[in-house]
Amino acid sequence: MEQTQHYIFPAKTGLSSFRDSGYRDTSMAVAELIDNSIQAKAETIRLLAFEKIEQGRVNKQSSLYKIAVFDDGEGMPKSVLELCLGFAQGTRLNKRDGIGRFGVGLPLASISQCKRVTVYSWQDGNRPLMTYMDIDEVLEQDQNFTNGTIEKDIPKQYTDALGNLIGKSGTLVVWDKCDRVNIKKTQTLLRHMQTGFCRIYRHLLDDNDSYGIKRDIKLLKINDEETVEFSLTANDPLYLLTPNNLPGFESKATNESYQKIIKEKIEYAPGVFSEIEIHASYIKTNPGRWKNGSEQAKHYKRNTGISFVRAEREIDFGCFGYYNPTELTERYWGIEVRFMPDLDEFFGVTNNKQAVRGINYLDKEELEDYDDEYIENDLHLKFRNKLSQYIKNLHDQLKKEVNNRATAPYDPDRDVNAPSLPAAEEAESASESLQNDNTPTGTQRSAKKKTEQEKEDEIRSVIKAANPNLSDEEVLIAVKAFKKLKLAISFEGWYGEQFLTVKGVGQTCTAIINKQHPFYTDLYQGICGGENTPVAQAMNLLLMAYARAEDELYNEKDTLEKFRSKWGAHVRTFLNDLKTH
């Protein structure tokens, strides 16, 4: 009996379903086209966003109506162009030597955003070939096959916008009838794309070609009145690449690499291996030099996470169960895991390259579900366990480095290579609060009797006692910052009952904490030795408030000295007794 044949999926119904799957927003769909351009070895890539401007009742109204992506890459021959709008028929299907692979990027990305996609491609200076897919035609004509190609010149609208960028080879993809763009205002959409692409394609935007060759990628907003350019500059969550878009530090690396790069051979099939690389960094100096709410602090906050980079292009970014992203310390380190497409299954890369899956931290509780033999025989689980150990150990070490940075001296000019004073943010805040307070203090009284050199020598002595490893240049920077403060905190070590003393250092009232007292080792370090949390800030402000109160009561100095000794003795006794209970 003759069998009736059916399409695995009829285009008429399949395309409608495909439109609803895949891409979380327009920028990620456009990224597929940029990936194709990179795969085609393009040096220049342009996204053109065309908008109409119409006069509304009061103001002019603009609306996006067309998107095009141009590249000067290798272009496609006729045989490839005929396939490019078919699903899972691309010439790179399942190839593992570059950014592409799945064979669905161009058509799936296109129909997720528009009803008509047109592709022009040319090689060797020949006239462009053109093909297209129109969803309305597919539905009306019950179309199940791709359209052929014809020779057709690139329309003037695009040649005018691109000018002399069009060379002997290249490709232009045009999205018409853009009915599913997630952000309707062109300027806002391009800003959103700019933000995402600066990080996704960072290794193609910096000046170092050792990993990712630099490309010229720009976004253009085009209407009858103007053309506005949105350039892309690397946004590196490791803060090592230059140039970058960290405000004020565009030409500087504000982090330093952590030790050696981890390179590991991964067996992803019996006897078949691929290599991963894990890069890490941490901030060069005290993150406290940037106050919460500053552009630099907000930039680091947005880049808190672990980055997974596939073939020079970021796939995913997040915490993946390794840490608490709300902790301030977590902002100031970075980890980047690099891998090639032959490890896609192990990293769970989705066919639209928007995420990795199945690589979250494998903790002890989950490990208890498997015995050693099971893990050894399951290549993916073995890999995930190894990756978890690498990242967890690295994260613990990076946090320690960041915490160590938190006690470096303060640089008022925010030179990234300079250290920072203890409790710098709180000292600045408290000093500003006292700006108009004219209450006489012992520090003011004693400062009038000192020469400028004597004041500077005092400050230098306190800073060196607190930070004996500082270079002469770093001490000078710290002295300059210290002079601007009305209140400060520093550290010394001495035998005795007092855990805190108050000194006029130069013309700054300084709360000096005794590092040999249990208050420092058992309490202060536990609260203030890590990230600069609100509790740590409150502790520092509490101590400075005490110092200021004592400074205003300078006529009661002898009484206050006795009070501090008594208070310190009780604190020592209570803390020591607590340990024995």
Assess whether the previous peptide bond of 468 is cis (omega < 30° from 0): no
For residue 454, being part of any structural domain is answered with: yes
Decide if pLDDT at 413 tops 50: no
Decide if pLDDT at 174 tops 90: yes
Decide if pLDDT at 571 tops 50: yes
The arithmetic mean of pLDDT across residues 55-63, rounded, is 80
Residue 439 tokens read as: 């209450």
- Could you identify the residue written with the tokens 């990080």? 199
- Could you identify the residue written with the tokens 């600069």? 532
Residue 96: its pLDDT value, please? 46
For residue 248, being part of any structural domain is answered with: no
Using CA atoms, how far residue 540 sits from 243, 400, 489, 503, 529, in Å, is: 37, 21, 8, 16, 11
Residue 25 belongs to domain spanning: 11-230
Residue 201: its pLDDT value, please? 98
Identify the domain boundary among 173, 197, 230: 230
Do 211 and 267 fall within a single domain? no
Q: pLDDT class for 415, splitting at 50, 70, 90?
A: very low
For 374, counting Cβ atoms within 10 Å of its Cβ (0-12 exposed, 13-18 middle, 19+ buried), the class is exposed
Decide if pLDDT at 411 tops 70: no
Q: Is the pTM of this model over 0.75?
A: no
The arithmetic mean of pLDDT across residues 506-526, rounded, is 88
Q: pLDDT class for 54, splitting at 50, 70, 90?
A: confident
Q: Helix, strand or coil for residue 363?
A: coil
Residue 256, C-beta contacts closer than 8 angstroms, at least 6 positions apart: 240, 281, 282, 284
Are residues 467 and 459 in contact, defined by beta-carbon separation less than 8 angstroms? no
Do 178 and 283 fall within a single domain? no
Taking CA 73 as the corner, what is the angle to CA 241 and CA 70, rounded to the nearest 5 degrees? 85
Are residues 280 and 306 in contact, defined by beta-carbon separation less than 8 angstroms? no
Decide if pLDDT at 97 tops 70: no
Do 44 and 155 fall within a single domain? yes
Residue 5: its pLDDT value, please? 52
For residue 237, being part of any structural domain is answered with: no
Residue 416: its pLDDT value, please? 39
Strands (DSSP E) along 23-112, which ranges? Answer: 44-55, 60-71
Decide if pLDDT at 213 tops 50: yes
- Condensed to tens digits (0 to 9), the pLDDT of residues 276-292 reads 999 999 998 877 677 66
Residue 67: its pLDDT value, please? 98
Residue 464: its pLDDT value, please? 81
Buried b (16+ CB within 10 A) or exposed e, 147-181: bebeeeebeeebeebbeeebeebbbbbbbbebebb
Do 88 and 186 fall within a single domain? yes
Decide if pLDDT at 421 tops 80: no
What is the residue-averaged pLDDT of the chain? 87
Do 278 and 388 fall within a single domain? yes
For residue 117, being part of any structural domain is answered with: yes
Do 123 and 206 fall within a single domain? yes
160-164, 285-289, 311-315: which range is least confident on average?
A: 285-289
Do 486 and 345 fall within a single domain? no
Residue 419: its pLDDT value, please? 44
Residue 361, C-beta contacts closer than 8 angstroms, at least 6 positions apart: 320, 321, 322, 388, 391, 392
- Count the domains in the chain: 3
Do 69 and 178 fall within a single domain? yes
For residue 305, being part of any structural domain is answered with: yes
For residue 98, being part of any structural domain is answered with: yes
- Could you identify the residue written with the tokens 């009284």? 445
Do 60 and 115 fall within a single domain? yes
Do 315 and 199 fall within a single domain? no
Q: Helix, strand or coil for residue 571?
A: helix
pLDDT > 90: percent of the chain:
54
Do 204 and 307 fall within a single domain? no
For residue 417, being part of any structural domain is answered with: no
Taking CA 524 as the corner, what is the angle to CA 521 and CA 529, rounded to the nearest 5 degrees? 90
Pairing relationship of beta strands 216-222 and 44-55 according to DSSP bridges: parallel
Identify the domain boundary among 373, 405, 437: 405
- Residue 325 carries which DSSP code? T
The arithmetic mean of pLDDT across residues 241-245, rounded, is 97
Do 278 and 216 fall within a single domain? no
Decide if pLDDT at 543 tops 80: yes
46-60, 88-102, 120-134, 468-482: which range is least confident on average?
A: 88-102
Identify the domain boundary among 375, 405, 435: 405
The arithmetic mean of pLDDT across residues 59-72, rounded, is 92
The arithmetic mean of pLDDT across residues 47-56, rounded, is 90
Residue 11, C-beta contacts closer than 8 angstroms, at least 6 positions apart: 138, 143, 144
Residue 417: its pLDDT value, please? 39
- Condensed to tens digits (0 to 9), the pLDDT of residues 429-479 reads 888 888 888 899 999 999 999 999 999 998 888 888 777 767 777 788 888
Q: pLDDT class for 537, splitting at 50, 70, 90?
A: confident
Residue 93: its pLDDT value, please? 44
Nearest to 534 by CA among 444, 441, 437, 429: 429
Decide if pLDDT at 89 tops 80: no
For residue 418, being part of any structural domain is answered with: no
Decide if pLDDT at 575 tops 90: no
Residue 365: its pLDDT value, please? 85
129-138, 215-224, 245-254, 323-332: which range is least confident on average?
A: 323-332
14-23, 52-61, 99-108, 210-219: which range is least confident on average?
A: 99-108
How many angstroms separate the most distant Cα atoms in the chain?
113
Q: pLDDT class for 420, splitting at 50, 70, 90?
A: low
